[in-house]
Structure 1
Amino acid sequence: MIAEHGVTAWGHAWLRTVEPTRVTRPNPSLPRARNLARGDGITDLTMAPGLLTAGSGQYRVRIEIPLWPAEPAALAAKLLADLPPSLVLGDLPDSLAAELRAHDIDIAPPPEELTPHCDCRDRRPLCVHVLAALYALVQAVDERPALAVELRGVTATTTDPDWIPVSELSVAGFYG
């Protein structure tokens, strides 16, 4: 079976936030949360440094994510600066994730460090809607690994010197 969540080292780190390995019993909400994330159950997924917001049906989810402290953030920024610009346009090598872990820098925080808020009546902090939003985040991080470090407060994107915005292209000259 092909994994659909956590296929990159970056997404896998965030998947461990949703599915921690140190649990003593399975979470019965996880299959429903995966189905919500897999289908159209999560809408308006918005990410900013330290914050994830999403909609899940009639409920709004807001998850505050702790930023890296100054020292880990500086080290992560230095490691990112050493990468070629073409790699930092959204895709990050898994070797960088391994290097961060080697320096004891957690790519994703443990679940107890998140501050989730949901409009639903479930009393658990990680209700099915919050879990679904986190699964959607894992998918987004798998597609664009730079989100993993941007959520923790380090800018990972640079502009490629060879990149030209489409709006600046002359249609006549391009198709001419």
Structure 2
Amino acid sequence: MADNEFGYTAWGMDWVRLAEPLRQTRPEPLLPRARSIARNHGVRATVDGRVVRAHIHRGGQASVAHLEVAPLPGQAVAAIAEVIPDPTLLTDETHRALVTAGVRPAPELAAVDCSCSARTERCVHVLATLYDMARRVDENPRLALEVRGYFEAAHADSEVSTEQPRWTPINTLDPARYFTG
């Protein structure tokens, strides 16, 4: 095992890079605390499709972090299927082959939310959830593709998927019909 506590595989390092981006110019003071929370199993996360919900208990405080991962584009799904015919065993070499083929398997966050009072997308709870996901992906790299929606998209009959909107714009609602049922 490598020296890295989180992200010792290329698949897990993609998740660590969300918490520790390379373009960051100054140290993030929340990272040591977030790693400590994840290291000491303070994150209870569940993965449901492309959504990660995490309950974080720290001291007398509890927060719920919500991460929504963007789906893989259709051409990326096709490219992954060509490069990796059998996704049951994903190694650093298969990750490297994907990057060489021009496919970035790294997760992209579509939405981030936390119930804490920090009111920022990079609170300690979200960062701890990212570290926890890195640990989980290190243990099971298949999760990296599952959370991006690869397996659902690979088995879908049509290549065009209709994405459900996350929010309904208020101006599209008709108040007369909305309250009358």
Q: For this structure pair, what is the TM-score category when the shorter chain's length is used for normalisation?
A: 0.7 to 0.9
User: For residues 11 and 147 of structure 1, what CA distance do their matches in structure 2 show?
Assistant: 10
**Counterpart pick for 2:107 among 99, 106, 109:** 109
1:117 alignment partner AA? D
Q: Which runs of 5+ in 1 are unaligned?
A: 157-176
Q: How much is the aligned-residue C-alpha RMSD, in angstroms? A: 1.8
Give the superposition deviation at 1:38. Answer: 0.5
Query: Closer, same or farther in 2 for the Cα pair 1:103/1:48, shift >3 Å?
Result: farther
Give the superposition deviation at 1:2. Answer: 2.1
Taking the TM superposition and a 5 Å limit, the aligned residue runs for 1:98-137 are 98-109=96-107, 113-137=109-133
Query: Closer, same or farther in 2 for the Cα pair 1:22/1:49, shift >3 Å?
Result: same
User: For residues 15 and 131 of structure 1, what CA distance do their matches in structure 2 show?
Assistant: 9
User: For residues 73 and 49 of structure 1, what CA distance do their matches in structure 2 show?
Assistant: 16
Asked if structure 2 preserves the Cα contact closer than 8 Å seen for 1:14 and 1:107, the reply is no
Length, aligned pairs only = 147
Give the superposition deviation at 1:94. Answer: 1.2
Percent of aligned positions with the same letter in both sequences? 37
User: For residues 78 and 49 of structure 1, what CA distance do their matches in structure 2 show?
Assistant: 23
User: For residues 135 and 106 of structure 1, what CA distance do their matches in structure 2 show?
Assistant: 19
Q: Which runs of 5+ in 2 are unaligned?
A: 153-181
Q: Residue 5 of structure 2: SS of its match in structure 1?
A: coil
Q: Are 1:54 and 2:54 an aligned pair? A: yes
For normalisation by structure 2, the TM-score amounts to 0.75
Q: What's the counterpart of residue 10 of structure 1?
A: 11
Q: What's the counterpart of residue 74 of structure 2?
A: 70
User: For residues 72 and 51 of structure 2, what CA distance do their matches in structure 1 show?
Assistant: 13
1:124 alignment partner AA? T
Runs of 4+ off more than 3 Å? none
1:46 alignment partner AA? T
For normalisation by structure 1, the TM-score amounts to 0.77
